[in-house]
Amino acid sequence: MRHKSKVILVYLQIFFRESSKVTETCPFYKYLSYPLKASHMKKISLIIISCITLSACITSAMAQTKKKLVWSDEFNYKGLPDSTKWSYDVGGSGWGNNELQYYTLKQEGNARVENGLLIIEAKKENIEKNAYSSARLVTKGKGDWTYGHIDVKARLPKGVGTWPAIWMLGSTTPLKWPDDGEIDIMEHVGYNHGVIHGTTHSRKYFHGIGTQKSATTSIPDCSEAFHVYSMDWDAESITMLIDNKPYFNFRNEHTGNDAWPFNKPFHLLLNIAIGGNWGGQKGVDDTIFPQKMEIDYVRVYQ
């Protein structure tokens, strides 16, 4: 055991020295004279990797425990969404993206809580001048935050033409887009099933000029299983995660509001759009309706 311990110390010294993290002043340096057998390398490598992974997990967990739950909806009731926490965006004007749905107001057919879940449901039905109905819930004025961690556990709709989103907008009134910012925690377009998008928009970085900052990851069972879609947000960066695994990071470059408008209150939005400039690129399959996005909980920590 004593010999193995010294071998581990040798490997640590080599590992850190090669990483330019220590010099000859490191206490491990004196062990470099020990013979290092090839048979030890694999085992020690696994130990090193395990320790680094464990350290990262512990660091992340400790960071989370420092945050307090400041806002949540566990959906442990029945009927319309809690009016002290949620409001509605209403209408069918296309919402700036030539979308096809009409967002309704306080219609349980489109937004309701049942069996411990928030259900947002898109339907094929004529309403006003639109051929589809859906709902867009917002927390503006009832939940507005600057920085924090957000978890939304959800199961997504499926089918060509659907465009569900979990996202945030600046709470400035009136909102000037993209100047006041947009944070897309989760977007999914039905014609590209299983590909999840995380994006930030600002005046300098947005899709209209092809400069948006974004990344994707694959969640093939996103419509069959619940996953936790999350965001970490502070003064220096915004990170998107799924099931606690990060896949996108956007850092504050400290060049001003055009690049980083994310230093003021934002609110949360949950919706299913139908069609539109992005969601409708492959048309809309009318045989798939109705389609639901189911949300198990929404939790905000600061």
Residues belonging to the active site? 182, 187
- Could you tell me which residues come within 8 angstroms of residue 61 by beta carbon, excluding any fewer than 6 positions away? none
DSSP letter, residue 31: G
292 CB contacts (<8 Å, ≥6 apart)?
119, 120, 121, 122, 157
List alpha helices for 161-300, DSSP H. 276-279
- Nearest residue to 180 via CA among 264, 269, 300, 89: 264
Pair of tokens at residue 117: 């879940």
Partnered with residue 269 across adjacent β-strands are: 138, 167
Residue for token pair 């080599």:
14
First to last CA, the chain: 45
Contact between 40 and 11 (Cβ < 8 Å): yes
Q: Which residue has the tokens 């069996």?
A: 115
Residue 285 CB-density burial (10 A; 0-12 exposed, 13-18 middle, 19+ buried): middle
Q: What element of type H or E holds 187?
A: strand 182-187
